[in-house]
Amino acid sequence: MTEILTDAAHAHGLPSDQLAKLARMADQIAEFFQTYPEAEAVDAIADHINQFWTRRMREDFRTGFQDDASALSPLVRQARTKVRVAAAG
């Protein structure tokens, strides 16, 4: 998994430890919601990220795992597509 994160981080100009931290945080959120029905869990994970992560964190998360999201848990991979794009400005 470290190699995947390192490759993804370098491809998007992010430190690999930063991308690993975002993946770990997202997976912790997913652990909380894993007992929910799948669709509800995916929506709740994305909603949590949209509400509590900074614009920069969301953008790094979206772009850092754009090409290869295999380091993320299945619920987080689905939720990633529902994370709002950071508004310009």
Residue 82 near residue 29, CB atoms below 8 Å? no
User: Position 54: which residue type?
Assistant: T
pTM > 0.85: yes or no: no
Looking at residue 21, its pLDDT comes to 96
| pLDDT tens profile 3-59 | 555 555 445 566 789 999 999 999 999 999 999 999 999 999 999 999 999 999 999
For the cut 60, the answer to whether the pLDDT of residue 62 exceeds it is: yes
Taking the C-alpha atoms of residue 7 and residue 77, their distance in angstroms, rounded to an integer, is 17
Element (DSSP H or E) covering residue 50: helix 38-52
Contacting residues for 55 by C-beta, under 8 A, at least 6 apart:
86, 87
Residue 65 near residue 73, CB atoms below 8 Å? no
